[in-house]
């Protein structure tokens, strides 16, 4: 298991400890739980001054999920790990929905509301005028990824003695993948020549043969539309196949090869047309994230995706987001990852200020009260409810949805429990914009 983070009575970070040692301190009332996620205890006594080992936080940024690991460079031990799931695409969908609703309102035969002169509207979305945008401006869906990582870096620096940061900076070259015939010796003779395309295809096709679905076998890059019949080297015409399927297909067109497997043909054609949206999101935010990490004042080390893969494969480690994070950079020692269980974090946001909910056509269906706090609880708090009377006697732990009446709903692992009185609830983690699972 991951180690437990510890702070002293002055809230200064100490060396993380084993969970068994943390349980003993809690049992002997020499410490108390300071925070549930990440699990941190605070000592009830002043420990003697001792040398605290420096730790390094390592980050593997992703479009949908970012791996985070805290590593002790001296021992190689992975002290703590997490996988942070972003909500960038959810933000994009929300902006799109808002744009459509505003457009429909302005197209209806109702009173026309002219937009203010100082605002710039793009397809119904209020945006800063292009001439007024600051250098480095990014869309909200992209900035949310940077804010999530920045939040967790600053949070972990409060509970662990972080002295350095490592970030994977370069992963895919979309220009090279889209146009393999691009000129320039840096593409023809670079140390990562051929790596960009292969690594991207491995992720795009799920590290399995596109034709038979076999995994954990050597895979070859294969042309969907064969070169012998006019196919190109563009990324949309490439896939992965095992040696057997590659030999069977030969110079056949994919429609001829999968004539008896129409469902598989449909899946491959759909996947081949999948845009490079995830890769573009990572590339668009990498240097902005680097600036944000440097603003913390800690030394920042950068590494490439090729180096991350080399560190992972040379130590025979499995492919996960948090292990990739632990392998970022040239400072990677021989890692100790035994029994490490990452914390699964999902960005959920802080709710919405929308007062009126609408249906898919934009018509109002219900009203939301402006007052969000009821009986000391807010929707999104994680509580522990010990019900001692009534029809719902039992122990429930989960995220709550509050009501002004004091009758709350609790979302537990086993489903939704309705009608739990606030008198039985005790907050164990306040809403912070993230959901958690171990």
The segment with the largest mean pLDDT, out of 21-25, 114-118, 218-222, is: 21-25
Cβ-count burial 124-158 (b if 16+ within 10 Å, e if not): beebeeeeeeeeeeeeebbbbbbebbbebbeebbe
Q: Rounded mean pLDDT of 270-291?
A: 82
Percentage of residues of the chain with pLDDT beyond 90: 46
- Tokens for 433, please give them: 């914009």
**pLDDT band for position 183 (50/70/90)?**
very low
**Residue 153 backbone zone (phi > 0: left; psi -120 to 50: alpha; other: beta):** alpha
Pairwise pLDDT comparison (49 vs 333), residue with the higher score? 333
Tell whether the model's pLDDT for residue 184 goes beyond 80: no
Decide if pLDDT at 118 tops 90: no
Interval 145-163 mean pLDDT: 96
Whether residue 125 is predicted with pLDDT greater than 70 in this model: the reply is: no
Whether residue 350 is predicted with pLDDT greater than 90 in this model: the reply is no
Q: Which has the higher per-residue pLDDT, 194 or 193?
A: 194
Mean pLDDT for 276-292 is 84
pLDDT category at 123 given cuts 50, 70, 90 is very low
Among candidate residues 141, 98, 143, 140, the one with its CA nearest the CA of residue 121: 98
pLDDT at 113: 62
The pLDDT, as a whole number, for residue 161 is: 95
Which is it for strands 78-85 and 356-358: parallel, antiparallel or unpaired? Answer: unpaired
d(CA 97, CA 54): 46
Give me the pLDDT at residue 278, please.
74
Question: What average pLDDT does range 183-187 have in this prediction?
Answer: 42
CB 420 within 8 Å of CB 390: no
CA angle 190–191–193, rounded 5-degree value: 65
Evaluate if residue 182 carries a pLDDT over 50. no
Q: Residue 284: its pLDDT value, please?
A: 85
């Amino acid at each position: 298991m991951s180690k437990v983070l510890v702070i002293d009575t002055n809230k200064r970070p100490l060396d993380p400890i084993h969970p068994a040692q943390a349980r003993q301190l809690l049992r002997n009332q020499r410490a108390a739980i300071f925070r549930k996620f990440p699990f941190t205890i605070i000592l009830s006594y002043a420990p003697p001054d001792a040398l605290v080992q420096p730790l390094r936080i390592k980050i593997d940024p992703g479009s949908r999920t970012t791996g985070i690991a805290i590593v002790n460079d001296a021992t190689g031990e992975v002290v703590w790990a997490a996988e942070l799931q972003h909500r960038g695409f959810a933000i994009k969908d929300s902006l799109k929905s808002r744009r459509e609703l505003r457009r429909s309102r302005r197209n209806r035969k109702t009173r026309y509301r002219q937009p203010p002169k100082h605002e710039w509207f793009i397809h119904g979305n209020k945006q800063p005028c292009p001439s007024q945008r600051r250098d480095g401006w990014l869309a909200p869906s992209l900035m949310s990824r940077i804010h999530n990582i920045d939040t967790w870096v600053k949070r972990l620096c409060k509970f662990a003695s972080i002295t350095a940061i490592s970030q994977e900076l370069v992963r895919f070259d979309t220009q090279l993948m889209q146009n393999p015939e691009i000129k320039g010796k840096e593409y023809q003779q670079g140390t990562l020549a051929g790596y960009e395309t292969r690594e991207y295809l491995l992720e795009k096709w799920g590290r399995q043969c596109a034709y038979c679905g076999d995994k954990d076998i050597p895979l070859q890059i294969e042309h969907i539309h064969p070169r012998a019949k006019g196919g190109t080297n563009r990324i949309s015409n490439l896939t992965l196949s095992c040696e057997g399927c590659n030999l069977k297909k030969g110079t056949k067109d994919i429609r001829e090869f999968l004539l008896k497997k129409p469902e598989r043909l449909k899946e491959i054609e759909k996947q081949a047309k999948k845009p490079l949206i995830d890769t573009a999101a990572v590339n668009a935010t990498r240097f902005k994230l680097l600036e944000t990490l440097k603003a913390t004042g800690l030394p920042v080390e950068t590494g490439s995706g090729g180096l991350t893969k080399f560190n992972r494969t040379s130590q025979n480690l499995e492919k996960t987001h948090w292990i990739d994070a632990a392998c970022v950079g040239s400072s990677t020692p021989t890692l100790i990852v035994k029994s490490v269980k990452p914390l699964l974090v999902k960005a959920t946001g802080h709710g919405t200020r929308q007062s009126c909910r609408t249906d898919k056509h934009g018509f109002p269906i219900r009203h939301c009260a402006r007052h969000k706090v009821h009986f000391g609880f807010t929707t999104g708090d994680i509580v522990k409810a010990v019900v001692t009377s009534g029809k719902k006697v039992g122990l429930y732990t989960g995220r709550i949805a509050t009501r002004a009446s004091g009758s709350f709903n609790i979302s537990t692992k086993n489903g939704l429990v309705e009608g739990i009185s606030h008198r039985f609830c005790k907050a164990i983690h306040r809403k912070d914009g993230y959901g958690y699972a171990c």
